[in-house]
Amino acid sequence: MTITENETPSASADETAFGDLLDKVRAEFDAQFTWDYERGRDGLNRLYEKAKRAQWNVSDDLDWSIDVDPERMVRLQQEVTGIPAGFPARSLLDVKGSPVAGWDDDKWVDFAVHSQCASLSQFLHGEQGALLCTARLVEAVPWIEAKYYGSTQVVDEARHVEAFARYLDEKMPTTYPINENLKSLLDAVLTDERWDLVYLGMQVVIEGLALAAFGMMLGTTQEPLLKKMLRYVMADEARHVAFGILSLREIYDDLPADEFRLRQEFAYEACEQMRRRTLNAELWPSFGISNEEIQAALPDREAQRRFQRILFSKIVPNCKKLGLLDHRDGWLRERFQEMNIIEFEDWENTAEALNLEGRVADKEGSDTGDSAGFDPDNLEGVEVIEQPVH
Ligand SMILES: [Fe+2]
Ligand SMILES: [Fe+2]
């Protein structure tokens, strides 16, 4: 893959060039009306009330006048966290014959800047995928509470696309194209006509992974604009993951065994695809190193493996909450054991973290205890995830 430079399209960027930037995915699914406007799902009602109160504005609530020097930020981050620039790839430095064996500190700082660009670019493209998936859910889900809540998520996701696109454009040197594995998972989720698989693929797997990745970036970056942006986005994402859990629990309770089995397999395949994604395939070629070369060195590196594993720390407890781990004699549990990520099964699941269960909405559909509105200093669901260093 090649790097896309941030440039304003030139005057010659005509319609054909613009057409190259479009990518269609054909899908057939049922858009569903419901004539049942009763709101009996307390968890979803509560989540909807939270979402309406938690709206923020990219233009007004973030300080875009902050000057960002990506290289200086990488050096500062290295100094404050003690994590060497370019980690975990940097652990390849001491591997004999590794393609990065001759890299000096400046090269690693440059790599770290581009690695940050690559991560933010995947966040950006993933956010657009979430925008499309959630618009789909609003049409396809049969419950009025889920259509209400889903509509707030559509606004949230548009805001996230706007935020990451603006940050990359104004503050970072470059934007990378979408990772192939992420694109093929998004395509699979968007083309499936079963709306619960849109939930499972997007709300549980992709957003669960994003929540962990954002949490890790939040724990390391020293850049104030990015820090604030990540905190705001994470508070929204925690609601989105909870939306998936609350909705899926209801339908999974009644799903026939063979159908449930398909959901287990889908969850596993989506996780496998996302595990391969962390290789950063779009980044290495721009440093003159082929993915084959780096692949040959990476799998044996414990630092890289630990880094990959922690990204699943949100997905595993949420799959457990949905009953996916232990159905069919623990089929998914075994797969997660093979992937070495079962250790996260008892971490807090996202619906519990947002305190969405065991409380009842009042008559108007609003709930008690959440009337404060948007409080930027007290955002629920924002959790720093420590990057494993050794
Ligand atoms: Fe998002
Ligand atoms: Fe989201």
Residues 6+ away with beta carbon under 8 Å from 50:
239, 354, 370, 380
State which amino acid sits at residue 227.
K
State which amino acid sits at residue 18.
F
Is the residue at 364 inside a domain?
no
pLDDT in tens, 330-344: 999 999 999 999 999
Mean local confidence (pLDDT), 17-38: 87
Of 112-121, 258-267, 292-301, 320-329, give the lowest mean pLDDT range: 292-301
Question: What's the rounded Cα separation, in Å, for the pair 294 and 188?
Answer: 28
Ligand having the closest approach to the CA of 162: 1
Question: What's the rounded Cα separation, in Å, for the pair 178 and 286?
Answer: 15
Phi, psi angles (nearest 5°) of residue 4: -100, 115
State which amino acid sits at residue 177.
P
Cα 244 to ligand 2 centre (Å): 10
Q: Region of 9 please: left (phi>0), alpha (psi -120 to 50) or beta.
A: beta
Strands (E), the chain: 4-5, 174-175
pLDDT of residue 225: 98
DSSP state of 323: T
Is the residue at 377 inside a domain?
no
Cα 74 to ligand 1 centre (Å): 25
pLDDT in tens, 143-169: 999 999 999 999 999 999 999 999 999
| Confidence label for 18 from pLDDT (cuts 50, 70 and 90) | low
Ligand having the closest approach to the CA of 161: 1
Contact predicate 319/267, CB 8 Å: yes
pLDDT in tens, 173-218: 999 999 988 999 999 999 988 999 999 999 999 999 998 999 999 9
Q: Is 358 exposed, middle or buried (0-12, 13-18, 19+ CB in 10 A)?
A: exposed
Cα 189 to ligand 1 centre (Å): 16
Cα 110 to ligand 1 centre (Å): 28
Cα 271 to ligand 1 centre (Å): 18
Of 83-97, 125-139, 226-240, 246-260, give the lowest mean pLDDT range: 83-97
In sequence order, the β-bridge partners of residue 273 are: none
pLDDT of residue 292: 82
Cα 95 to ligand 2 centre (Å): 38
pLDDT of residue 160: 98
Residue 347 belongs to what domain range?
37-353
Specify the 3-state DSSP secondary structure of 144. Answer: helix
Q: Is 143 exposed, middle or buried (0-12, 13-18, 19+ CB in 10 A)?
A: buried
Of 14-23, 118-127, 221-230, 259-268, give the lowest mean pLDDT range: 14-23
pLDDT of residue 262: 94
Cα 332 to ligand 2 centre (Å): 24
Cα 273 to ligand 1 centre (Å): 20
CA nearest 163: which of 74, 240, 227? Answer: 227
Cα 297 to ligand 1 centre (Å): 33
The answer, yes or no, to whether residue 364 has pLDDT greater than 50, is no
Cα 349 to ligand 1 centre (Å): 18
Is the residue at 7 inside a domain?
no
The answer, yes or no, to whether residue 221 has pLDDT greater than 90, is yes
Neighbouring C-beta atoms of residue 253, cutoff 10 Å = 9
Count the domains in the chain: 1
Ligand having the closest approach to the CA of 208: 2
pLDDT of residue 277: 64
Specify the 3-state DSSP secondary structure of 21. Answer: coil
Is the residue at 13 inside a domain?
no
Specify the 3-state DSSP secondary structure of 364. Answer: coil
Cα 129 to ligand 1 centre (Å): 9
Is the residue at 360 inside a domain?
no
pLDDT in tens, 69-79: 999 999 999 99
Is the residue at 141 inside a domain?
yes
| Confidence label for 142 from pLDDT (cuts 50, 70 and 90) | very high
In sequence order, the β-bridge partners of residue 4 are: 175
pLDDT in tens, 226-279: 999 999 999 999 999 999 999 999 999 889 999 999 999 999 999 988 887 656
Ligand having the closest approach to the CA of 204: 2
For residue 313, give the CATH number of its domain. 1.10.620.20
- Crossing angle of helices 105-140 and 180-191, in 10° steps, is 0
Specify the 3-state DSSP secondary structure of 5. Answer: strand
Cα 151 to ligand 2 centre (Å): 12
Ligand having the closest approach to the CA of 153: 2
In this prediction the pTM is 0.88
Cα 154 to ligand 2 centre (Å): 9
Is the residue at 358 inside a domain?
no
| Confidence label for 301 from pLDDT (cuts 50, 70 and 90) | low
* pLDDT-above-90 percentage for the chain: 58
DSSP state of 10: P
Is the residue at 342 inside a domain?
yes
Pairing outcome for strands 174-175 and 4-5: antiparallel
Cα 237 to ligand 1 centre (Å): 6
Q: In the predicted model, what is the mean pLDDT of the chain?
A: 86
The answer, yes or no, to whether residue 2 has pLDDT greater than 90, is no
Cα 179 to ligand 1 centre (Å): 17
Cα 207 to ligand 1 centre (Å): 7
Cα 233 to ligand 1 centre (Å): 7
Cα 157 to ligand 1 centre (Å): 4
Question: What's the rounded Cα separation, in Å, for the pair 69 and 1?
Answer: 26
pLDDT of residue 10: 44
Of 39-43, 180-184, 303-307, give the lowest mean pLDDT range: 303-307
Mean local confidence (pLDDT), 48-64: 96
Ligand having the closest approach to the CA of 233: 1
pLDDT of residue 362: 39
pLDDT of residue 141: 95
